[in-house]
Amino acid sequence: MMGPSQGVIELIEELKAVRAVLSVDPRRRLKVRAPRGVLNDELSGRIAAFKPVLANLVRMSKCDKCRSTQFVDVEIHGGHSLRRDCARCGSFVGFPVWNPQE
């Protein structure tokens, strides 16, 4: 799958590799905790560019209803977007990738 989602997935992998931890505060703003010296200008810039997308992804890492972390992602818009449902209770969780225009 190509599109704007491509860069954000790479970014998440890179952040994992340097042991940066992403979370969202109660106001749904993205928080990044990382070992000292890891967040250089380049990485910080990319985090800033993807902030809303990252915050959304973090928020969707757990089901609001049953706290499950197991999901079923369904391709929609011909594979350009993904809809996520909880694998345990079936609740709609969100859209990990939203790119209907392409």
**Which residues are at the interface with Zn ion (CB under 5 A)?**
63, 65-66, 68, 86, 88-89, 91
Considering the complex, state which of residue 31 and residue 67 has its C-beta at the smaller distance from Zn ion. Answer: 67
What DSSP string describes 6-66?
HHHHHHHHHHHHTT-EEEE-TT--EEEE--TT---HHHHHHHHHTHHHHHHHHHTTS-TTT
Distance of closest approach, residue 3 Cβ to Zn ion, in angstroms: 28
Cα Rg of the chain (Å, integer): 14
Give buried/exposed letters for 3-14 (b at 16+ CB in 10 A, else e): eebeebeebbee
